[in-house]
Each structure stands twice: as C-alpha cells, then as structure tokens.
Chain A
C-alpha cells in the first residue's frame, strides 16, 4: 500500500517539476523576444508575466486536468475524516468496536460455512462423487448402511459410474506398531476405493484388485494415512515395507496416501477386502464416482431401477431399494441446519450493529448541522458533502473491517477448537480468498448502510435555517427523526427474533442436560480396550482375562463397582439395531421384524451405572459358557413385546439361527447413545458366555477418576501388554454427546445477548439525543409548571412507543423463523409461549432502562440554567 502511495507521489512530483519547467520556458522565451524589441529585462519580465496571466493560477488550472487531483481530494477527505473521528474518539472507538464485532463474528461464521458447505470436498472432481445408499421404502428414508451383496449387484448392473467402492469399519482396533500396543482406525475397502477419490500415493502405491484377499484369506497389505505414517515412522518413505499387526493380523504397509487425503474422516489405514456377508447385514458404506456428463437424476433413476429389481428378486430386499446422494450433502447434511442458523443469527447481529451505528452517525450528522451548513455556504457542493460524510463512514467501516478480520481469525481458531471438531475439512479451515472477498464486500455494504443515510440527510440541509438556528442545537428534520425511530424499531425487532431463538435453544439444551438418562454418569471411569483374538480358545482366554482384571479392579480401595460392556456409549460407536425373535411366536417378514440394540456386558454392569433392576436377576458367575444362554432386556422391549406378560423365563434370540437365550431379568431404560432420543429396545447378553468382543471397562469410584486410570492401566498391562487402552470419564462422554447442542446454544446465546445490548444502546442513543434536542422545550415546560414526573412520562412514552412497535414486529418475525429451528429443539415447541414472553420481558426491561436514563436526565434539567444557555 505504502509502495503504491509512494509511486503516486513520485509521479506527481515529476509532473509538477515538468510543468514548472514548461511554463518557465514559455516566459523566458517571451522575455527574450520582448527584449529584442528594446525593452529592459525587468520590464519585459513584468509584461510577460501580466500577459501570461499568473503562473500560480495556470499551474492550478493545469493540475485540475490531472487525475491525481481526485486522489488528492480523497486523501484530504480521509485525513479530514480521521481527524474528525480522532476528535470524537469515544464515538469512534465505540462505533468501531461495535462494527468490528459484528463484522468479525459474521466473517468467522462465514468462513466455517464456506469451508464446510460452499467449498467442494478436497478431492478431484468432488462434485461427481456420490454416496450410494440403501433406500428403505417402508420408512421412506435413505441409509448409508448397505449390504455387501447389494453393493456387488449395483456395481455389476449399473453403467453410470466411473468407479464404485464399498468399505466398512469404524471402530478403533488394537494394533501393534513396532513394540507398542495402540489403537488404529482401519477401513476395509474394496478394490477401486482410491480411484473413486482419484488419489495418488505420496509414497509406495495404493491398493489394486490384486491385493484383495481371495476366499477366507486374510489381507496382507495396507495403505496408511500420511500423518499417521509421519507420527509412527517419521516419514512416508520410511513407512513403506514396515509390518504392523492389526487385531492380530500382520500387514505390510505398501503405500502412504497423499498428505491431505482423509476419507472417511477418522480412518488411519485402508485394508483391502471383498464385500461379503448377506443381504440383511448392512455393514458397508458405498461411494461412487459418476462418469463425466452423467446427470445425477439419470444416475439416481438407474440405481433405483436396479434396487427395485433386487427388491423383487430377494425376500430380504423387499422393503428396500437404492438411491444416490451427493457425498458432500451426505457429509454436511446434519450440519447444514446448525450452520445456517448460526449464519442467519450472526447476520442479524451485523444488521443490528449497522443500524446502531447509522443511528449514531445520524445523530452526529444532525449535531454537525451547523458545520455542514457552513461548509455548504462556503461553496462545497452537495456531492462533496455527501462524499465527505461517506468517507467518514468508509474510514470507520474500513478500520472496523480490518479489526473484524483480525477478530474473525481469532474466532475461527476458537470455533475450530470448540468441541464439535469433527466437521469435515475443519482442520484445514482458513481465511481464504472467498472469505476475504466476503469480508471486503461486507465492509463495503456496511459503509453504505451505515453512512449513506446520514450523509444524504446531512447534505439536504436548508442552509439559512440551519445557520439561523445556530449552535449544534438545530432541530432534526422530521424525516430524519422518523428514520432514526425506524432504525430503533428494526433493532428491537431483530433482537426479539434472536432472543427467542436463543431462548428456545437454551431451554432445549437445559432439557437435554437434565434429561433422565436412566443411569448415573458421575464418578464413573470408562476404559476403552481392544483385545485381539482369533480362535475359540482365545475368545475364552479373553473372557477370563477380563473377569480377572475386573475382580482385581473391584478389590482396589475406593472402587465400589466395576463392569464391562462391549461398546462405548454416547454415539462414539453408533449401533445398528438387529432383528430379534421370541420363542413361540411367528418370525414375521424381513423389514417388519422387531429390532433391538444388542450389548454384551458382564455382571455388575447395572450396579456400576445404577440402573434399576425391575424384575429377575443380573448376570452372575453361574452364567458360564457351558450353561444355557441367558439375556436381560430393558423395559422398552419388555413393554413392546410382552406388554403385560412377564418376560422372565421366556426365550429370545438375535438372528434366526443363533441359540435361544432365556430372559433372566428386566432393567430400566437408558439413553445410552443419544440423550435426545428415547431409549430403544435393548437386549443385554452375557460376555462371560462368549458373546461380543472386547470390553470397555466401567468403574464406579469414590476416588478421583483419573488416578484410578493409572491403576487400571497397570492391571491391564499385567494381564496382556498387547491390549491398548484409552480412558474417559462418563461425564466427558456425556459432554461429547451434547457438544453440538451446547455449541449452537452458546453461540446463539452470545449473539442474542449482544443484539439485545446493541438494541438497548440504540434506544438510549436515540432518546438521549432527543432529550438534548428538546432541552429548551423541556425547560420551558418545567418553567411553566410541569412536574419531573410529567417530563419522565413524556420521554419514556416516546421510547415505549418505539419499543412496543419493535416488540410486535419482532414477535411476528420470531414466529415466522422459529419453524426453522424445529429440528434443533428438544422437548420444546418452537412456539413455546414462555420463551416468547421471556424474550419480551428481557428486551422490554433492557429497553426500559435505556429509556429511563435519558428521561431522568431530562427531568433533572434546571429550567433556569437551560434557558440561560440558549
């Protein structure tokens, strides 16, 4: 910037020098010519000068033709504006801060929206990548979970895809890298996986169809994530050829993916596999890259047709067909609502900030009536005055824009650090060109919004009136008063909308936080482990090891109960519901069978989490692998399937070929996965009988949870050093489950608070200004006998009228937009009367305070002093 200015200055200096030389040449020649006719040099110079008409004047006229002239005027305006703003630094600081806040918050939220929703996914031809999904015709919903055979049929029968791939996995697995036991997150992918994303390896090679194990063979190779390779081997090249063990299976690293490649988000390594299983096992997810030029609708129609044919062909497929969803939509779909709500909210805050500053500037412009009138009288054109005033708001908006951008970059860092960090692409979120342009545009719009109205007002002065009235007390024109009142009404209305939104979100968040989970979260340590097994023998050893560790853990002083469960709660490991069957009842059609989530647990699980036993008994030491299988169900399932009958003693099974299990107990419902969803039907099976896989260990303790962690780590290490373990408290898991609702509640709450504050300031500034304007009138009223109370009533009445109109408009607006929030609310209607009343009360009180202060100031005007000053 300085460079450009210097360039300008340098060019202008040269022009000036040239001009001077040029004119001097002219006059010198003229003098020479005159001297030839016999005049003395002095006389010739005098005459030449007169004839020429004033060198300074000519220079000035010539300068006028240079375009630099307009730049000079601009520089002058800017300098003048800065001087003006510095002079009233309190105003400038306040207005600048408000605007910077509004701009910064808006830019920050926009940069998230930009990264997540607007930018394409970071893969070549990302717009052609789709998620190929099961469409459940009985529920009318698509699901990402697809079965292996379905996928193979789609792949074989469609011709709209360049490449298709299926993958499964999602849990962290026990891995051994070097001699360290740790967790790794693998995805088992079909041959063309990397081709769908058009990836190249950063070292080694990616997977090919020759890597796919045939029949029952285990995979032997893997491709790893770039940063994972870096973390464990130091560089991508070094990782090539290294052997790791994944859940007991040795793998050779043949390739490292490109540095930026992550799909799905959590995957550390990709292992080749051939899609298998049967048509009712929906463990895969499928992605495809459409051929160039194939329309999404065409591809959708084709895959639907194939799905419909399969539905007629196989009984398991009866309730389902197939569909396509753009991958980006699939990945960001559930965030869209939150982000757009945030974006709209922050937009409202920005608008309120603009309205507020427009108001302040208008007040200033009115206060400066005399100054502007004087400038106009001295010959400044209307355009010049508008330009001057606009320059002032531009300087303000420009500085605020820069500050806002700084603020935004801080806020963005904060946004990334906030809990819901698993937004796609959020890691590489930065302030890019789009965001910069957005910020610039927003500043520009702010300038116009904030500056144009006061500027036009200022330029439309009646000169003689303004000068005659004298002082800065010239009355505001009726139009400008009305305009300022409108601004205040808008501010109030927008704030009501934000307050209602915030109120609804806060109340549903509180409801979520206090929801009865059905178990106690405090003072529980969870330890996620993964114990690799292969043979039946090893499965039995594993069960024994866990039993021993739990027994030793229970013996630790301060541990009141300990148990194991095969899955961690709160959405960390989403569970698919499985069909179940009750002995003596018809099996039902696929897709219409009752479903339940299945958890393998040890004894004492209910005791540890303080889940009430409603009937029967807990699992105990008599439930050994040799004994008949037993199960415990929750109240939901008992109610759905057995209604008034007693379920204890009945038999149930999962899948149509597994052994029957006797129901030995009924326990209370728990919201184990998602606090906002009612408890699903659950079947608990005994891990001691060989069911399930590795356990997460839960311990209830009166000790500090973290100190117990090291004890437990040592116990596990003694039992089997190849088992990795990761600790969290149950509270942390619960917090994680509420991360999104908490995040949006906090942000919107903050926005609403700022908005309400700004609206109050707006009301205050309008009324305070009004009082200043009417000092004389009020003094006269007081002098002729009006009481202080009358004056207060007068001013408060003025304020209340604005507030009332704003509140009514705001309520109407809130009713209109509340519907958008519906999906984000929990146990509260978007038209909850209490929340609306609350918003009105909060804003009403704030506004009333804002009107009372100037009203009291008006009431304390001493008529004698006030009239004397006039």
Chain B
C-alpha cells in the first residue's frame, strides 16, 4: 500500500497540526493518530518530525501547552491553539483554498 500513502507535502504539516488542534486540545501522540485517522491513512506523518513542528509553533506563540492527565491516567503534554493560532489557521486555510482551487482549474483546463 506504499503507493497509496503520501509523505506529507512540504509546509503543510503546520497547517494540519493547527487544524487538528482547532477541534480540541491534544497531546503529540493523539495528534499523530488523529492525522492518520482523518486522512484515512493516506497521509503519512513521520512521527518524529511532529515534535520539532510542535515546538516551533509554540515558539511562534500559535500554540500553548500544559501538562495534564491523559485518558490513560498518565501525565501528557497537551497542546492547544492560542488566539494567534486560530488567526493563523484561517490565513493558512484561505491560502490553501486558493492554491488548490487554482491547481484544480489548471487540471480541468487540461482535460
């Protein structure tokens, strides 16, 4: 099934993280799992690369984090969106929409 699984496109991981966290706060493992579930296992996130991205977004003040009990009872680091994060998500979604729309246009023209 390797052919059906995409490496995540460059620069979209941030947007996917923001989108995932816009639903509810989550810890790193949950984010990874949810990304895979939502994309029906099509998008493959290298689990390791998730953490530098999370820390980078936190440095940018788009995410905030706190330690609290997870569903298994152990302490986990939960990330959630800040106000700036919500704003950023809107910006990224808009530009993504524009991009996909134009890409679709290009393909439709060719058919």
Which residues of A line the B interface, CB within 8 A? Answer: 18-19, 21-23, 25-26, 28-30, 32, 51-54, 57-58, 61-62, 64-67
Instruction: Report yes or no: A25 in contact with B74, Cβ–Cβ below 8 A.
Output: yes
Instruction: Report yes or no: B74 in contact with A52, Cβ–Cβ below 8 A.
Output: no
Instruction: Report yes or no: B29 in contact with A25, Cβ–Cβ below 8 A.
Output: yes
Instruction: Report yes or no: B59 in contact with A62, Cβ–Cβ below 8 A.
Output: no
Q: Which of B28, B48, B59 contacts A67 (CB 8 A)?
A: B59
Instruction: Report yes or no: A53 in contact with B49, Cβ–Cβ below 8 A.
Output: yes
Instruction: Report yes or no: B59 in contact with A65, Cβ–Cβ below 8 A.
Output: yes
- 0/1 per residue, B76-90, Cβ < 8 Å to A? 110000000000000
Q: A65-B59, A66-B59, A67-B59 are in contact. Are A26 and B47 (CB under 8 A)?
A: yes
How many inter-chain contacts with C-beta < 8 Å in the A-B complex? 60
Apart from A25-B74, A26-B28, A62-B55, what are 11 other A-B pairs with CB-CB below 8 Å?
A: A21-B77, A22-B76, A25-B28, A25-B76, A29-B29, A30-B29, A52-B48, A53-B46, A53-B48, A61-B52, A65-B55
Kindly state whether residue B68 has any CB partner on chain A within 8 Å. Answer: no
A83 CA to B86 CA, complexed, in Å? 49
Q: Which of A29, A30, A61 contacts B72 (CB 8 A)?
A: A29
- Taking CB atoms, residues of chain A closer than 8 Å to B52 are 58, 61-62, 64-65
Q: Which of A18, A21, A57 contacts B48 (CB 8 A)?
A: A57
* CB proximity of B60 to chain A, nearest CB, Å: 9
* CB proximity of B25 to chain A, nearest CB, Å: 14
Q: A22-B77, A25-B76 are in contact. Are A66 and B48 (CB under 8 A)?
A: no
Tell me the nearest residue of chain A to B56, going by C-beta.
A65
A28 CA to B29 CA, complexed, in Å? 10
- Taking CB atoms, residues of chain B closer than 8 Å to A53 are 46-49
A66 CA to B54 CA, complexed, in Å? 12
Which residues of B line the A interface, CB within 8 A? Answer: 27-29, 32, 46-49, 51-52, 55-56, 59, 67, 70, 72, 74-77
Tell me the nearest residue of chain A to B30, going by C-beta.
A29
Instruction: Report yes or no: B47 in contact with A52, Cβ–Cβ below 8 A.
Output: yes
A869 CA to B75 CA, complexed, in Å? 67
- Taking CB atoms, residues of chain B closer than 8 Å to A28 are 74
Q: Which of B46, B47, B51, B72 contacts A62 (CB 8 A)?
A: B51
- Taking CB atoms, residues of chain B closer than 8 Å to A23 are 51
Tell me the nearest residue of chain A to B52, going by C-beta.
A61
Instruction: Report yes or no: A54 in contact with B48, Cβ–Cβ below 8 A.
Output: yes
Q: Which of A18, A29, A52 contacts B77 (CB 8 A)?
A: A18
- Taking CB atoms, residues of chain A closer than 8 Å to B29 are 25-26, 29-30
A30 CA to B29 CA, complexed, in Å? 8
- The A interface, classified by DSSP as helix, strand, loop or mixed, is helix
- Taking CB atoms, residues of chain A closer than 8 Å to B46 are 53
* CB proximity of A90 to chain B, nearest CB, Å: 45
- Taking CB atoms, residues of chain A closer than 8 Å to B70 are 25
* CB proximity of B78 to chain A, nearest CB, Å: 10
* CB proximity of A229 to chain B, nearest CB, Å: 62
Query: Can you report 24 A-B residue pairs in the complex whose CB atoms are below 8 A from each other?
Result: A18-B67, A19-B55, A22-B76, A22-B77, A25-B70, A25-B76, A26-B27, A26-B29, A26-B32, A29-B29, A30-B29, A30-B47, A52-B48, A53-B46, A53-B49, A54-B48, A58-B48, A58-B52, A62-B51, A62-B55, A64-B52, A65-B59, A66-B59, A67-B59
Tell me the nearest residue of chain B to A28, going by C-beta.
B74
- Taking CB atoms, residues of chain A closer than 8 Å to B49 are 53, 58, 61
* CB proximity of B55 to chain A, nearest CB, Å: 4
* CB proximity of B34 to chain A, nearest CB, Å: 13
* CB proximity of A70 to chain B, nearest CB, Å: 12
* CB proximity of A24 to chain B, nearest CB, Å: 10
A51 CA to B46 CA, complexed, in Å? 7
- Taking CB atoms, residues of chain B closer than 8 Å to A65 are 52, 55-56, 59
A19 CA to B51 CA, complexed, in Å? 9
- Taking CB atoms, residues of chain B closer than 8 Å to A57 are 48
Tell me the nearest residue of chain A to B47, going by C-beta.
A52
- Taking CB atoms, residues of chain A closer than 8 Å to B48 are 52-54, 57-58, 61
A22 CA to B46 CA, complexed, in Å? 16
The winner among A54, A64, A65 for most chain B CB atoms within 10 A is: A65
- Taking CB atoms, residues of chain A closer than 8 Å to B51 are 19, 22-23, 26, 58, 61-62
- Taking CB atoms, residues of chain B closer than 8 Å to A25 are 27-29, 70, 74-77
Tell me the nearest residue of chain B to A15, going by C-beta.
B55
Tell me the nearest residue of chain A to B70, going by C-beta.
A25
A57 CA to B52 CA, complexed, in Å? 10
| 4 tightest A-B CB contacts, nearest first | A53-B48, A61-B52, A58-B48, A65-B56
Tell me the nearest residue of chain A to B59, going by C-beta.
A65
A451 CA to B32 CA, complexed, in Å? 49
- Taking CB atoms, residues of chain B closer than 8 Å to A32 are 72
* CB proximity of A392 to chain B, nearest CB, Å: 30
A64 CA to B77 CA, complexed, in Å? 19
* CB proximity of A328 to chain B, nearest CB, Å: 51
A23 CA to B67 CA, complexed, in Å? 13
- Taking CB atoms, residues of chain B closer than 8 Å to A61 are 48-49, 51-52
- Taking CB atoms, residues of chain B closer than 8 Å to A52 are 47-48
* CB proximity of A707 to chain B, nearest CB, Å: 82
A364 CA to B40 CA, complexed, in Å? 62
* CB proximity of B5 to chain A, nearest CB, Å: 13
* CB proximity of B82 to chain A, nearest CB, Å: 17
- Taking CB atoms, residues of chain B closer than 8 Å to A19 are 51, 55
